[in-house]
Amino acid sequence: MNSESIKNYLYKNSDLQISYNFNMVAISDGRPKLMGIRQIIDSYLNHQIEVVANRTKFELDNAEKRMHIVEGLIKALSILDKVIELIRSSKNKRDAKENLIEVYEFTEEQAEAIVMLQLYRLTNTDIVALEGEHKELEALIKQLRHILDNHDALLNVIKEELNEIKKKFKSERLSLIEAEIEEIKIDKEVMVPSEEVILSMTRHGYIKRTSIRSYNASGVEDIGLKDGDSLLKHQEVNTQDTVLVFTNKGRYLFIPVHKLADIRWKELGQHVSQIVPIEEDEVVINVFNEKDFNTDAFYVFATQNGMIKKSTVPLFKTTRFNKPLIATKVKENDDLISVMRFEKDQLITIITNKGMSLTYNTSELSDTGLRAAGVKSINLKAEDFVVMTEGVLKMILY
């Protein structure tokens, strides 16, 4: 079976693929709003711009505050002995802060940071480490100010962070979301299980398929028939094959075997008109089974008034099952009396009611379309007409 067609069948007839409409209502600028995908993405981007900008301002504020403290500590270390002496001579912590501000012009934040350090920690503070931190803070502040002052730089931050999220959660989405889904066309024929069955057609137009078991249990002679009817053809076919039923009106019925009713061999079949409507005076003249329309085989059509034509098998493939289709053009007061199928060119004989005959090779016939009437096959005398055509494998001349 065709796996792609089976998958499409499941997509269309199960919840493996779901299509549905929905209203995307979101809170935008504090109010509910109906939004499309593009609007949602725009809103998300605007929100990210706001979030990153606020975060950057927060980080810049903290960096500037820390830099201010570091500058105070560096200044204190440069006059460490004087600072220690001043703190020791102060009455308390508050007095020490006020003295640092008044005597050495530290800010309140710097003075607070100095007095919060115990004297032994102040004396052990590494001036080199503070100077290194000061340089790092300078670079950070410069970077943060650049982000706030330059919109493109801010957008680059968002891109980098989204890429990091993409790397962190890099598993691919298991389901696919699309705005529009192309209509799925299913070839249901590939879903048909392959089974060998017996096809039968009677001259009165009754057709059926029968299991091999039922056929073997009965035998050909026990087929169900109406009075006066007889078997036109029976053969082993597959449920994945197609039956072509040709009528005297020059039309054909395209019937997949699996669409035929499964009827026991002893029972009457289903009249072909119940499957595809045909006219009351339309008569079945032959039936053929096609396994694959991609072939070089061809049909030869002959009419009662002596017209003949050849058409290749691929022309008869169709997707329309509900009405008869034209196989050959039959003129008024004429009937199609013979349809033959050949794998390659060979001799055929045309036989008339008055015993006349003509034999020639099918290679002398040109391939024609389905709506063509063909050419004259034999010159008929008055009141004579073609009664049959027959394929000839070998001519024996005496």
Whether the pLDDT of residue 179 is over 80: the answer is: no
Whether the pLDDT of residue 186 is over 60: the answer is: no
Q: Report pLDDT for 398.
A: 47
| Residues 6+ away with beta carbon under 8 Å from 59 | 140, 144
Tokens linked to 297: 């085989």
Partner residues linked to 152 by β-bridges? none
All domains of the chain in start order, with CATH:
24-168 (1.10.268.10), 192-283 (no CATH), 292-397 (2.120.10.90)
- Crossing angle of helices 80-89 and 37-78, in 10° steps, is 80
Q: Report pLDDT for 29.
A: 81
Cα–Cα distance measured from residue 209 to residue 61, given in angstroms and rounded to the nearest whole number: 87
Q: 315-330, pLDDT tens digit by residue?
A: 999 987 889 999 999 9
Positive or negative torsion for Cα 229, 243, 348, 350? positive
Reported confidence tier of residue 2, pLDDT bands at 50, 70, 90: low
Whether the pLDDT of residue 337 is over 80: the answer is: yes
Q: DSSP letters of 65-106?
A: HHHHHHHHHHHHHHTHHHHHHHHHHSSSHHHHHHHHHHHH--
Its pTM stands at: 0.56
Mean pLDDT computed over 124-150: 92
Strands in the chain per DSSP E? 25-28, 31-34, 196-202, 206-211, 231-238, 242-247, 251-256, 270-271, 284-290, 298-303, 307-312, 325-326, 336-342, 347-352, 357-361, 375-376, 386-392
Q: Report pLDDT for 1.
A: 53
Q: Which phi and psi angles does 233 have, rounded to 5°? A: -160, 145
Q: 8-29, pLDDT tens digit by residue?
A: 777 777 777 776 677 788 888 8
Q: 96-110, pLDDT tens digit by residue?
A: 999 999 999 999 999
Whether the pLDDT of residue 90 is over 70: the answer is: yes
Mean pLDDT of the chain: 88
Contact status, residue 226 vs residue 204, Cβ threshold 8 Å: yes
Residue 208 or 320, more confident: 208
Q: How many CB atoms lie within 10 A of CB 261?
A: 13
Q: Report pLDDT for 209.
A: 94
CA-closest candidate to residue 336, choices 295, 300, 369, 381: 300
Q: 33-46, pLDDT tens digit by residue?
A: 888 888 999 999 99
